[in-house]
């Protein structure tokens, strides 16, 4: 089994705190670290974007990197690159927040994006994923 480096973030901004409280997790956001060091992430109001790591780290008060198990890292990177420019999944965000299961199949929220490329989650569950679920994937700390 291969690993994919991911980065988690949290801050004291209201939306971050609300996500942390609702999901019982200290992390409110997750993105994938690409081989060149940049981050691919799904960001509210922007969609799936590439972010410089220093900009990601400026946005969050605290970050943490983990290498999570991934069935095929090369394929995961290719799939992540194909998602750049896709919309942010506001439906899934509110679905998680309200416990409704809402989802926009053509868009992503942060954990849904990362979970979709790992090869461990049933597609029906992707929209319900939160950063804590990605963290639970057996990981190797490097």
DSSP per-residue letters across the chain: -EEEEEEEEE-SSHHHHHHHHHHT-S--EEEEEPTTS-EEEEETTTEEEEE-HHHHHHH-SEEEEEEEEES-HHHHHHHHHHHTTPEE-HHHHHHHHHT-----TTEE-HHHHHHHHHS-S-GGGGGG--HHHHHHS-EE--
What pairs with residue 67 in β-bridges? 5, 140
**CATH assignment, 2-140:** 3.90.1720.10
Asked if the model's pLDDT at residue 4 lies above 50, the reply is yes
Q: pTM to 2 decimals?
A: 0.88
pLDDT on residue 123:
74
Could you tell me the residue ranges of all domains in the chain?
2-140
Over residues 47-69, the pLDDT tens digits come to 999 999 999 999 999 999 999 99
pLDDT on residue 68:
94
* Greater model confidence, 142 or 20: 20
Asked if the model's pLDDT at residue 142 lies above 50, the reply is no
State the average pLDDT over residues 13-28: 88
Across the chain, mean pLDDT equals 88
pLDDT on residue 91:
75
Phi, then psi, of 114 in degrees rounded to 5: -65, -45
């Amino acid at each position: 089994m291969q690993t994919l480096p991911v980065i988690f973030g949290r801050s004291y901004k209201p939306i971050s705190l609300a996500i942390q409280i609702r999901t019982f997790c200290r992390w409110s956001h997750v993105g994938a670290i690409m081989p060149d060091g940049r981050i691919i992430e799904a960001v509210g109001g922007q969609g799936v974007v590439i972010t410089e790591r220093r900009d990601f780290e400026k946005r969050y008060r605290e970050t943490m990197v983990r290498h999570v198990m991934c069935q095929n890292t090369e394929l995961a990177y290719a799939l992540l690159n194909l998602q750049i420019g896709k919309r942010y999944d506001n439906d899934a965000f509110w679905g998680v927040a309200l416990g409704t299961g809402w989802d926009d199949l053509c868009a992503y929220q942060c954990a849904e994006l990362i979970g979709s490329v790992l090869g461990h989650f049933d597609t029906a569950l992707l929209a319900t994923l939160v950063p804590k679920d990605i963290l639970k994937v057996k990981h190797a700390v490097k």
